Amino acid sequence: MDVVGVEGEAAGGGAGARAVPAGEWEREPHPSDSLRTFGAVVQALREHAGLSRVDLGARVQYSKHTVESVELGRRMPDEAFVERAEEALGNTGALRKAARHLTRGEAGLVAWFRRWARLEREAVSLCTYECRLVPGLLQSEAYARAVFEGTIPLRTDEELEMQLAARMERQAMMRERPTVPFSFIVEEHVFRRLFGDAEAMRGLVEHVLELTAPRNVTLQVVPVEARLHACLDGPLQILETSEGRRLGYSEGQKNGRLISDAKEVTVLCQRYDTLRSQALTPTESRDLLERLRGEL
């Protein structure tokens, strides 16, 4: 799911996924490797220059807290930070080169979702079924914030902002990849669950309608009056790699699992395809959301 359990999905993804032997699929990646490495380089150069975090913060026009967050790998440095830090720490070129290898979106993504997020950005097709929340790729900023604010244990303001930024960044890939098919099947009750006032609810529906309007994006809604169906075991995601391999992902409380076994993935694909025939058509689904918007 997202960063917080719900779609560890939460948001982002990063560099292309390398080919991984089957036995490695279930291993959890080391958290924020690229960010921690970059932060260590910043700290080493800063200490070599005899500067404190306060000193460096003054030179790069960021707070001591921001410098500390970057050095500890908790924050993705923006271009301005990288350029100013490079100039302040000797213009060696080390920071500019290191910044190119940062995996965007790792900060703010739960550990078990990171590998999927990387694969997702390189996938040639992506299918998502959700019965709990609006899929992370379709969430409005207000909706995502409400999800994160309600997470237990509570997050600090900085952690919340990192998660929100990662979610929105991950979502951007839909606009950046207009030839990749994105398919979503979502239960109707998900869109009816209140999370804010009428304006926020309308904003969510309008956001979903906008993101699912392009020809490469398909949204189908499972109406509340639908009977028992093929995906009652819970939410699932399926992607296809450029090599033609299909992988699945499922998530629950405080965990997520990338599914690489061909037989298991075949079953997930069969369930998803069956649910497609049981859900409303894309046109009917848009009509339903437009009616829901009108009711708010």
DSSP string for residues in 257-294: EEE--HHHHHHHHHHHHHHHHHSPPHHHHHHHHHHHHH
Q: Kindly report the length of the chain.
A: 296
pLDDT at 111: 57
- In angstroms, how far is CA 188 from the centroid of its own chain? 22
The model's pLDDT over 215-266, given as tens digits with 9 standing for 90+, comes to: 999 999 999 998 889 898 899 999 999 999 999 999 888 778 889 999 999 9
Cα 117–Cα 118–Cα 121 angle in degrees, nearest 5 = 85
pLDDT exceeds 70 at position 13 = no
Which residue did the predictor score with more confidence, 168 or 274?
274
Percent of the chain with pLDDT over 70: 85
Q: What is the pLDDT of residue 66?
A: 87
Q: What distance lies between CA 40 and its chain's CA centroid? A: 25
CATH level 3 topology of 33-99: 434 Repressor (Amino-terminal Domain) (1.10.260)
Topology of the domain covering 110-295: Endonuclease; Chain A (3.30.870)
> 107 or 260: which carries more pLDDT confidence?
260
Domain boundaries, the chain: 33-99, 110-295
Contact in structure between 184 and 220 (CB atoms under 8 Å): yes
Q: State yes or no: pLDDT of 185 exceeds 50.
A: yes
Per-residue tokens: 197: 């006032």
| Comparison of pLDDT for 94 and 29, the residue scoring more | 94
If residue 98 lies in a helix (H) or strand (E), which one and from where to where?
helix 94-99
Write the CB contacts of 274 (distance below 8 Å, at least 6 apart in sequence). Answer: 229, 230
Q: Cα 12 from chain centroid? A: 4
Q: What is the mean pLDDT of the chain?
A: 84
Average pLDDT over residues 186-194: 96
Per the model's pLDDT, the better-predicted residue between 196 and 87 turns out to be 87
